[in-house]
Amino acid sequence: MDELRSAPVAPQKLLVDGTWESASGAPLDVLSPIDGRKLTTIESAGPDDVARACGAARRAFDDGRWSRMAPAARKKVLHAIADRIEAEAAALTVLGVRDNGTEFNMALKAEAGSAAGTFRYYAEALDKMYGEIAPTAPDVLGLVHREPVGVVGAIVPWNFPLMIGAWKLAPALAAGNSVVLKPAETASLSLLRLAEICMECGLPDGVLNVVTGPGAMTGEALALSMDVDMLVFTGSGATGRRLLEYAARSNLKRVYLELGGKSPNVIFADAPDLEKAAKVSAMGIFRNSGQVCVAGSRLLVEQSIHDEFVQLLAKEAGKLRVGDPLNLDTHIGAINSEAQLMGNLGFVDDARKQGNTIALGGNRMLDDTGGYYMEPTIVTDVAPDHRIAQEEVFGPVLAVTAFDSDDDAVRIANSTDYGLAAGVWTGNLSRAHRMVRDIRAGVVHVNTYGGSDNTVPLGGVKQSGNGHDKSLHAFDKYFDLKTAWMQL
């Protein structure tokens, strides 16, 4: 670990048509959130650089070097990528932690471990996606073919770059598409190494291209490209709206968005184990410093157990060690950037001004390290319409609201613009089913929070986005359906 922690990281380049090259703009410094020090540089791709990458992806798709490769051959390459990710899991994880601050123990499983599993899942699935024969008249043969969409632009966030990158890359490549990947400028390093791995494992040149740089320049150029047939994105609602506008201004490319959430975690008085609920709920918001799309950032507690449960939760949160994410005894690592940390603290200041109670935390910590760290924070006396209950903080900040009845819980749970995830803790089976039915969210956890695998989809409703990552349903985005209508 010590050797990996201190290993120098070479200046990074763009990947275009199988070649690592410099961009037209000045490189960007990569600052580690662990200590605020410069780690390396990444390229800042401008419109011309992005155009070259998109053109390479288009040529690779059109000439069939990957799109018309036999499924068994594509499968072999994707399995090789999964094997290599597993072999390099520790190195990939440390590189990613130095770049984005996630605690190592979580990242090892959620980043490299998840990415390897995702590539393996879609490698196994790709040759099991059949076309259809339609039940037409006897003198007509109606065939429904599945064809790859073409060139996919994938824009990936900084909180779990390998995991979410694999959610986009693996099914897109398995379906036969070419990809232009744009990582977040504050977490590009592990995805750049993944691109190297893909090439080393036999992915043909031009099938995967990687452009790094600011979203306002690099991401915009990718979204406006006439060579890109569809965009997949995980990130903020504001950026998602811009991507839709860029699609309208260019070639009306399809855009699939996962835009985060303000997920309610509902604790009923009849929960089977309140201490377990408190422990799991604490990790449901504070792991990765709250920088998790499905984080249970709103805690809804039945009035009769409100004070008791908040005390249990604060006790559990107080056990969590915040610190260097590469130390194995750390539970919570760093905030990704100083700008994100300042935004988190701004939400806490606003909560104080609105009369909320800061029951735990609320402050920056370990600032003598030069890194970006924040105390686990619990805010109580939060009304459903308060800012901290309505807007995504994306930090270790939990808003607690009391409720009186099932109907009250559902009303409050559904009172935001988001609908990505939710949790329900109850010993009543009928109530559990009603909550799953009535809460508007793409995922509803019952007597747990967080965790799933590739067998189930992840996607949101309302302003949490559209489309799904994970499971066979992810393929829906990456295939087109073509009808052949044949007179016999």
The set of catalytic residues is 258, 293
Q: How far apart are alpha carbons 266 and 431 in whole angstroms?
A: 12
Q: How far apart are alpha carbons 176 and 66 in whole angstroms?
A: 6
Q: Are 232 and 467 in contact (CB under 8 A)?
A: yes
CA of residue 138 relative to chain centroid, distance:
48
Map tokens 């004070």 to a residue: 307
Map tokens 């409100």 to a residue: 306
| Helix, strand, coil % over all residues of the chain, rounded to 5 | 45, 20, 35
Angle at Cα 54 formed by Cα 50 and Cα 55, nearest 5°? 115
CA dihedral 171, 173, 175, 176 (to 10 degrees): 170
Q: Which residue, among 149, 165, 174, 259, has the nearest Cα to 212 in the 3D structure?
A: 165
Q: Which residue, among 344, 275, 267, 361, has the nearest Cα to 313 in the 3D structure?
A: 275
Q: How far apart are alpha carbons 388 and 244 in whole angstroms?
A: 27
Helix, strand, or coil (residue 322): strand
Q: Are 61 and 37 in contact (CB under 8 A)?
A: no
DSSP letter (8 states) at residue 1: -
Q: How far apart are alpha carbons 90 and 193 in whole angstroms?
A: 13
Q: Which residue blocks in 210-271 are alpha helix, DSSP H?
A: 220-224, 237-249
Helix, strand, or coil (residue 158): coil
